[in-house]
Structure 1
Amino acid sequence: MTEEGTNQIGNNFKYVVDCSLPALATHMRVLGVDTLYDPTFSRNYILFLARRDHRIIVTQSTKLRSMVELILFNRERKRLKITEYQELYESALDRENNRTQERLFEHEKSRIKHLSSGQILERIEMMKEEVAMDDEDWFEYKGRHEQLRELVDKLKLVFILDRAFDHCTKCNGKLIRIDDKSQVVGEVENNVYNNNKNFSRCGDCGMLTWGTMPNRDQDSFQKAIRFCEKYSFKQT
């Protein structure tokens, strides 16, 4: 895959998946995609994560979809309000510097006609920041049940072997390879310890994994690769 093609895939974005699609969240992490998921996440917290981290929301929830649409609607209202305040700001400067007749919108007279130009400018700056935060395409939603194939195609999630299997499927943390497997003695069953040479530990939750990248000849790993290849976006 060329560098240009790699830049266009969905793997380069960050996501937050709600409780309606747990299997997809696990699959995305296996593909090496930065994916937050926790069945206890509230809708408001998912919206917060999307805004804070510039994450795309993936959900089947119509309620969450409605909340997203309301946010986008309010963003447009803020943009219109900024234009309105810009005119009020010019009017306030006119009033203060030239002592001319103030020009205010009828529905704003009772509320802000006594604001100074400095106070109006503060409001403009705050609203501009809010609109800028909402201006990114952070939200991706599904209104009906979709198959895994359709989701990976929609999000353009590509299987890249060098990127895969490096995220914890439990918490999304980065997996750290353990060079000396004697460090995990007593943490796994004897047959697991004896049959695997390579182990990794999640840097966040501490979960142990084994039989991943270094053991490419293992049947379980080859099955995982075939599954990822089947359920990943195919560029044309």
Structure 2
Amino acid sequence: MKFIADAMLGRLARWLRLLGFDTLYFRDISDSALLKIAKQEDRLVLTRDTHFLHFSGFKNYLLIKSNNTFEQLVELTKALTIKEFNPSRCVKCNGILIDVIGKKDVRMLVPEHIYMQNNRFSRCEGCGNIYWEGSHIKRFREKVCDRLEDIGG
């Protein structure tokens, strides 16, 4: 499933990427450009703006009601019956994360303490950012993924 989030849902877009969903987000994009991308790439528009969708006649959207990011994810999970989450996207550019084969390949690209504490690293195909499973990801999985899987399943 592919999404495009409007300007009001930047944090939700980031969280969806953390959960592994192909999610586009642009801070400054016109409604017509957003709809054009959504149609061309068959993406579900995530929005909080009732007026723009009402006047556009576009049907492939989900109106998000909550201001709270976790509650927004709950709305999405319930509406689309999402049951599994697979963190595999870059939160910055939406690129696909690929596992780095050798730990030594990232030695000069991450801080020393990160290199020493981790054995598995991923690189974004799009922007080249290096990722590892730090404590923030573990907390995110505990607080968000596990709870969402309980709700969706």
Paired residues of 1:16 and 1:55 also in contact (CA < 8 A): yes
Matched position secondary structure for 1:167: coil
Give a deviation string over 1:27-46, Cα, whole Å, max 9, x none.
21122211111223332221
Contact 2:77 2:152 in 1 (8 A): no
After superposition, the CA RMSD in angstroms is 2.4
CA positional deviation for 1:166? 0.9
Deviation at 1:196, TM superposition (A): 0.9
Aligned runs of 1:75-154 on 2, under 5 Å? Answer: 137-142=59-64, 145=67, 147-148=71-72, 149-154=74-79
TM-score w.r.t. length of structure 1: 0.56
Partner of 1:38: 26
Which consecutive unaligned segments of at least 5 residues does structure 2 have? none
In the alignment, the residues of structure 1 paired with residue 93 and residue 80 of structure 2 have an alpha-carbon distance, to the nearest angstrom, of 21
Q: Report the AA paired with residue 203 of structure 1.
A: E
**Is contact 1:167-1:174 (8 Å) kept?**
yes
Match of 2:126 among 204, 216, 230: 204
Flag as ranges the 4+ runs of structure 1 deviating above 6 A. none
Task: Tell me the residue number matched to 1:184.
Answer: 106
Whether the 8 Å CA contact 1:19–1:39 is kept in 2: the answer is yes
The 1:178/1:229 distance shift into structure 2, 3 A limit, reads same
Q: Which of residues 18, 23, 28 in structure 1 aligns to 2:6?
A: 18
Aligned residue among 66, 74, 80 for 2:51: 66
Identity of aligned residues (%): 27
| Structure with greater proportional strand content | 2
Structure with a larger share of its residues in helix: 1
| Contact 1:50/1:139 (8 A) holds in 2 | no
Instruction: Give the 3-state SS of the residue equivalent to 1:20 in structure 2.
Output: helix
1:224 corresponds to which of 98, 115, 140: 140
Mapped to 2, the partners of 1:20 and 1:44 lie a distance apart of 16
Q: Per-residue deviation at 1:50?
A: 0.8
Once the 2 structures are TM-superposed, how far is the Cα of residue 180 of structure 1 from its aligned partner?
A: 1.1
- For residues 181-220 of structure 1, give each alpha carbon's deviation from its aligned partner in whole angstroms, at most 9, with x where no partner exists: 22222221110111111111110111110127xxxxxx55
Distance between the aligned counterparts of 1:142 and 1:211, measured in 2? 29
For 2:42, the equivalent position in structure 1 comes to: 54
With over 3 angstroms needed to count, the CA separation of the structure-2 counterparts of 1:139 and 1:150, relative to structure 1, is: closer
Question: Do the aligned partners of 1:156 and 1:233 also contact (CA within 8 Å) in 2?
Answer: no
Gaps of 5+ in 1: 1-12, 73-133, 213-218
